[in-house]
């Protein structure tokens, strides 16, 4: 398409109307004398409707609108890892260099460095037939991360020339017989999903090291989870914790319309924390998008797409990727704000009618897949939802729950009791439960699922008993029920509760999760047996080993202590009378 220039007709906040354009939907245009990055989001009669990614103060009717002839794209190539971007993939540290501590307008900065040279090692040779997605060669992007330079999707041919050595991302590293010159960099329109060959079943769990998640409501690799909760219930802490400890190769953290100080916290912490799997700084496997609440809403709207596109790119190399979005509600609100400026027919609570469709499109980009090349990669998505007033009946939560397979319901009552993670164990669910069971049997313990169900039953019974206790006090309950209450309390306080800030307890391996729960259940069995022998509940509850169990989870090398406590328990019950 030939690129032309139109004129601004109207400016109202982040939405601009322009005349004289030929651009298509979602094409990028540059608005005004300053050339503000913008995107076509509607066409009505002779006018194009444009959302501007930057502040529009001062823009006047009559100013030029320059077409680019292309949609908003992500720049994909070596150098993405460790980056910190705004919602349209501008590296924030580069913006500091260019314009100081406050973000100013009209700056264009490449998503990846176009000058830096990378050592490219080819894996194909002259005469090879190459298919879409096939690896042409590799670049050691980080110490432990080998970046595959792949054929762009939709492109095939025969290698005429392939180079090896040090190149910038723009240099040609391969020429095809048809004359196509391929650089390492790829440009991909962010609103379009990158293709893969086939979706795989979600049969492998994503290990998070969080007991309530791995043990009760586990997420599969390639799965989707929603984490809704009122303010201060722990969404951000959970997403940061998952980003730190999950067993994935790459983490894409999208801070979408949230706090600046939180991003500062993350940016200070990630370079210092070490990935337990690789002993390398977490930052080396991370990509951060920080489009905070005070940054332009249109860029906030784009950030989710830019984020998922980079996630797909690494998935295509065969990596397991996790993307967290904090918060998808702010994303939905950005849509609502733009939609209302467009004077579209509002749907429920002012959200546009396409809210559900957009959410679905986004979550659909997750999955464990066979890549174009035939390797296996995955994207798991964890989306925070911030329902107004903590009320889950609102449209964003409801639309999200229709799509995501895991629901971690944060409960402000638990938050108030300072029980963290405040995931409600009665309301939450994982639809991957059954498909993942065989994996746990095979890889952790044949009893994994059985113990989990036993613990769940105890908690359910506990919930019913608690209602009675509220009315009559616990002393009025029969002895066995009092025991159940106590065992439930142990499960809740010693096992479900897990401080994200405790140096050891922040991450709990599968085996430890299993052993701890097993120990609590074994206390239960001893206790009921003792009760059957006629020993009164208050004697049973005074068992010192019960309280000793509380602190085992705080130990890194927990096994000797746990064995000691279990042995103690054994002998205490034997001699109890």
Partner 1 sequence: MTKEYKTINEIKGPLLFVEKTEPIGFNELVEIRTETGELKRGQVLDTSNEVVVVQVFEGTGGLGKESTVKFTGDVIKMPLSPDIIGRVLSGSGQPRDGGPPIVPDVSKDISGAAINPAAREKPRAFIQTGISTIDGTNTLVRGQKLPIFSGAGLPHNDVALQIARQAKALGEAESFAVVFCAMGITNEEAQHFMADFERTGALERAVVFLNLADDPAVERLLTPQLGLTTAEYLAFDLDMHVLVIYTDMTNYCEAMRQMGAAREEVPGRRGYPGYMYTTLAIQYERAGIITGKKGSITQFPILTMPGDDITHPIPDLSGYITEGQLIVSRELHRKGIYPPIDIRPSLSRLMNSGIGAGHTREDHRAVSDQLYAYYAEGCDLRGLVAIVGKEALSERDRLVLEFADAFERKFVNQGRDEDRSIFDTLDIGWNLLSALPETMLTRIDDHLIKKYHPRYRKKE
Phi, psi of 540 (to 5 degrees): -60, -40
For Mg ion, the closer CB: 235 or 365:
235
Q: How far is the CB of 499 from partner 1 (least distance, A)?
A: 10
For partner 1, the closer CB: 366 or 482:
482
Q: Tell me the per-residue interface mask from 438 to 477 with partner 1, x by CB under 8 A, - otherwise.
A: --------------------------------xxxx-x--
Position 434 contacts partner 1 (CB under 8 A): no
Residue carrying the six token digits 């392939």: 162
Q: How far is the CB of 367 from partner 1 (least distance, A)?
A: 30
Measured between alpha carbons, how far is residue 426 from residues 151, 218, 410, 423 in Å? Answer: 48, 14, 11, 9
For ligand ATP, the closer CB: 293 or 398:
293
Query: Which range, of 157-165, 183-191, 201-209, 411-419, touches partner 1 by CB under 8 A?
Result: 411-419
Q: How far is the CB of 341 from ligand ATP (least distance, A)?
A: 25
Contact partner, 229, from ligand ATP, Mg ion, partner 1, none, Cβ < 5-8 Å per class: ligand ATP
Interface pick for partner 1 out of 4, 165, 276, 350 (rule CB under 8 A): 350
For partner 1, the closer CB: 391 or 464:
391
Q: Which of residues 27-56 bind partner 1 (CB under 8 A)?
A: 55-56
Q: How far is the CB of 83 from partner 1 (least distance, A)?
A: 10
Contact present, 8 and 30 (Cβ < 8 Å): no
Phi, psi of 227 (to 5 degrees): -130, 85
Phi, psi of 275 (to 5 degrees): -65, 120
Q: Which of residues 194-253 bind partner 1 (CB under 8 A)?
A: 230-232
What is the enclosing helix (H) or strand (E) of 322? Answer: strand 320-326
Q: How far is the CB of 154 from ligand ATP (least distance, A)?
A: 40
Interface pick for partner 1 out of 165, 271, 388, 438 (rule CB under 8 A): 388
Residue 342's contacts (CB-CB under 8 Å, 6 or more residues apart) are: 15, 41, 42, 49
Phi, psi of 297 (to 5 degrees): -65, -30
- What tokens appear for 259 in the block? 């706090």
Q: How far apart are CA 245 and CA 234, in angstroms?
A: 16
Phi, psi of 564 (to 5 degrees): -65, -50
Q: How far is the CB of 103 from ligand ATP (least distance, A)?
A: 21
Contact partner, 475, from partner 1, ligand ATP, Mg ion, none, Cβ < 5-8 Å per class: partner 1
- b/e code 333-363 from CB counts within 10 Å (16+ = b): bbbbbbbebbeeeeeeeebbeebbebbeebb
Q: How far apart are CA 14 and CA 506, in angstroms?
A: 41
Give how far the C-alpha of residue 161 lies from the chain's centroid of Cα atoms, to the nearest Å.
40
Query: Which range, of 10-18, 109-117, 245-253, 446-454, touches partner 1 by CB under 8 A?
Result: 10-18
Q: Which residues, listed in sequence order, are joined to residue 476 by a DSSP beta bridge?
A: none
For Mg ion, the closer CB: 220 or 384:
384
Contact partner, 320, from ligand ATP, partner 1, Mg ion, none, Cβ < 5-8 Å per class: none
Contacts with ligand ATP by CB under 6 A lie at 229, 231-237, 258, 386, 420-421, 499-501
The dihedral through the CA atoms of 180, 186, 192, 197 has a sign that is positive
For ligand ATP, the closer CB: 292 or 386:
386
Neighbours of 2 (CB within 10 A): 6
Query: Which range, of 109-117, 198-206, 315-323, 346-354, touches partner 1 by CB under 8 A?
Result: 346-354
| β-sheet with 157-162: strand ranges across | 129-130, 157-162, 172-176, 181-183
Q: How far apart are CA 335 and CA 331, in angstroms?
A: 6
- b/e code 533-557 from CB counts within 10 Å (16+ = b): eebebeebeebebbebbeebbeeee
Q: Which residues, listed in sequence order, are joined to residue 384 by a DSSP beta bridge?
A: 227
For ligand ATP, the closer CB: 179 or 503:
503
For partner 1, the closer CB: 327 or 380:
327
Phi, psi of 251 (to 5 degrees): -120, 130
Contact partner, 290, from ligand ATP, partner 1, Mg ion, none, Cβ < 5-8 Å per class: partner 1
Contact partner, 499, from Mg ion, ligand ATP, partner 1, none, Cβ < 5-8 Å per class: ligand ATP
For ligand ATP, the closer CB: 150 or 238:
238
Q: How far is the CB of 235 from Mg ion (least distance, A)?
A: 5
For ligand ATP, the closer CB: 237 or 342:
237
Contact present, 423 and 382 (Cβ < 8 Å): no
3-state DSSP assignment of residue 436: helix
Interface pick for partner 1 out of 265, 479, 529, 570 (rule CB under 8 A): 265
Q: How far apart are CA 532 and CA 304, in angstroms?
A: 58
For partner 1, the closer CB: 71 or 257:
257
For partner 1, the closer CB: 471 or 532:
471
Contact present, 72 and 29 (Cβ < 8 Å): no
**Which positions lie near partner 1, rule CB under 8 A?**
9-13, 17, 55-63, 84, 92-93, 95-96, 100-104, 230-232, 255, 257, 259-261, 263-265, 267-268, 290, 292-295, 297, 330, 333, 336-337, 340, 346, 349-350, 386, 388-391, 416-418, 470-473, 475, 501
């Amino acid at each position: 398409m030939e690129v032309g220039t139109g004129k601004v007709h109207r400016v109202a906040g982040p939405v601009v109307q322009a005349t004289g354009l030929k651009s298509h939907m979602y094409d990028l245009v540059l608005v005004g004398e300053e050339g503000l990055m913008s995107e076509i989001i509607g066409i009505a009669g002779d006018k194009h409707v444009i959302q501007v990614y930057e502040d529009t103060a001062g823009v006047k009717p009559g100013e030029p609108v320059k077409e680019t002839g292309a949609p908003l794209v992500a720049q994909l190539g070596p150098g993405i890892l460790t980056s910190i971007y705004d919602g349209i993939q501008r590296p924030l540290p580069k913006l500091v260099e260019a314009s100081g501590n406050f973000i100013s307008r009209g700056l264009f900065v490449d998503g990846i460095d176009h000058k830096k040279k990378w050592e490219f090692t080819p894996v194909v040779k002259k005469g090879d037939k190459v298919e879409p997605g096939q690896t042409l060669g590799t670049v050691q992007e980080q110490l432990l991360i080998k970046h595959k330079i792949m054929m762009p999707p939709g492109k095939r041919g025969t290698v005429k020339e392939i180079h090896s050595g040090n190149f910038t991302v723009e240099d040609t590293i391969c020429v095809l017989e048809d004359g196509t010159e391929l650089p390492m960099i790829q440009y991909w329109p962010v609103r379009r999903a990158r293709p893969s060959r086939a979706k795989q079943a979600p049969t492998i769990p994503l290990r998070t090291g969080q007991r309530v998640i791995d043990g009760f409501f586990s997420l599969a690799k390639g799965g989707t989870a929603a984490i809704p909760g009122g303010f201060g219930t722990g969404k951000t802490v959970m997403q940061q914790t998952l980003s730190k400890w999950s067993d994935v190769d790459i983490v894409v953290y999208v801070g979408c319309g949230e706090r600046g100080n939180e991003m500062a916290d993350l940016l200070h912490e990630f370079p210092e924390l070490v990935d337990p799997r690789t002993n390398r700084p977490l930052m080396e496997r991370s990509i951060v998008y920080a489009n905070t609440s005070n940054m332009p809403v249109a860029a906030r709207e784009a950030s989710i797409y830019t984020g998922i596109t980079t996630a797909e790119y690494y998935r295509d190399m065969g990596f397991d990727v996790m993307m967290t979005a904090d918060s998808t509600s702010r994303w939905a609100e950005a849509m609502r704000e733009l939609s209302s400026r467009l004077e579209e027919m509002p749907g429920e609570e002012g959200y546009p009618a396409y809210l559900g469709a957009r959410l679905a499109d986004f979550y659909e980009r997750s999955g464990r897949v066979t890549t174009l090349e035939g390797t296996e990669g995955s994207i798991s998505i964890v989306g925070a939802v911030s329902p107004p007033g903590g009320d889950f009946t609102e449209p964003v939560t409801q639309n999200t729950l229709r799509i995501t397979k895991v629901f971690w319901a944060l409960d402000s009552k638990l938050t108030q009791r300072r029980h963290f993670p405040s995931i409600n164990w009665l309301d939450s669910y994982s639809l991957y439960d059954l498909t993942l069971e065989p994996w746990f049997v095979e890889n952790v313990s044949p009893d994994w699922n059985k113990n989990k169900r036993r613990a769940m039953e105890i908690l359910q019974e506990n919930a019913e008993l608690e209602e009675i206790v509220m009315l009559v006090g616990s002393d009025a309950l029969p002895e066995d029920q009092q025991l159940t209450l106590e065992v439930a309390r142990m499960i809740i306080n010693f096992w479900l509760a897990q401080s994200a800030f405790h140096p050891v307890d922040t991450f709990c391996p599968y085996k430890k999760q299993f052993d701890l729960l097993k120990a609590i259940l074994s206390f239960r069995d001893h206790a009921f047996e003792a009760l059957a022998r006629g020993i009164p509940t208050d004697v049973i509850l005074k068992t010192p080993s019960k309280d000793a169990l509380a602190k085992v989870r705080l130990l890194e090398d927990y096994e000797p202590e746990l064995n000691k406590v279990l042995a103690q328990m054994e002998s205490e019950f034997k001699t109890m009378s």
